[in-house]
Structure 1
Amino acid sequence: MADTLHSRTDALRDILERQYQTHTGQLLELTADSRRPDHGGHDPDTLRALMETARQGIADTAGALRRISEGTYGRCESCGGEIPVARLEILPSARHCVPCQARKRA
């Protein structure tokens, strides 16, 4: 029998919480590097890009955790349909089903 979102929500929440901590730790380290004269070995442009990636990761995971608490997690923000559990297991912060995500990129 296929996993349902309800049966996987706790595991997905745990993954999201770990990802949030990872992104937060990365941003803290990169922020400290940005204050060093040598930028922690990064060129300034790369450092800014890495910091933006960490910020986006924080925002994405925080949004997914918020959707879990609101009861809207696993629903596509575009069409309102269910996001397959398999997609959420690969990308727990997914906000769109695959067809809607593909349309957004087109």
Structure 2
Amino acid sequence: MTHDFSAAQRARFRALLEEQREADRSNAFAATRNMQLISDARQDSSTDDEHDPEGVTLAFERSSEAAMVQRSERGVAEASAALARLDDGSYGLCEECGNEIATARLEARPATTLCIECARRHGA
């Protein structure tokens, strides 16, 4: 079974997914760079985080950037997987129930793998 997209819709989803993937790659790169800057700043400060107010701030900032890298890398993987589904004809089909995912949902979340009903059941 395949979702019946027009050529224009397929091109639109491809553009959305490529844009999402590129934005996530850029975000991961920036967050990785920020983590390096934080590490460099930390080398110039006290190593006693417990008593150095800057150490705690730097640790929190580094943790936040690490989370951004993980989210962005997950976004790159999701967009890449969606592009592969677009190529093999399975894009737009719910991975759980096999029903078509509404076009409006795909416009809002191009890399989604679940229809709205299944997403609600999973709390996604």
TM-score scaled to structure 2, two decimals? 0.75
Gaps of 5+ in 2: 43-57
Q: Specify the code of the residue in structure 2 equivalent to 1:62.
A: S
| Runs of 4+ deviating beyond 3 Å | none
Q: 2:68 aligns with which of 50, 56, 64?
A: 50
CA distance in 2, matches of 1:54, 1:5: 30
In 2, distance between residues paired with 1:5 and 1:86? 14
In 2: Cα distance, 1:85 partner to 1:97 partner: 10
TM-score, length of structure 1 as denominator length: 0.87
Gap runs ≥5 in structure 1: none
Q: Is the 8 A contact 1:16 1:61 kept in 2?
A: yes
- Partners of 1:58 and 1:38 lie apart in 2 by 29
Q: Which moved more, 1:13-22 or 1:30-39?
A: 30-39
Deviation at 1:38, TM superposition (A): 3.5
Query: Distance between the aligned counterparts of 1:21 and 1:105, measured in 2?
Result: 27
Map of 1:38 onto structure 2: 41
Partner of 1:24: 25
Provide the identity percentage. 29
Count of matched residue positions in the alignment of Structure 1 and Structure 2: 102
Deviation at 1:5, TM superposition (A): 4.9
- Alignment match of 1:82 (pick from 100, 103, 107): 100
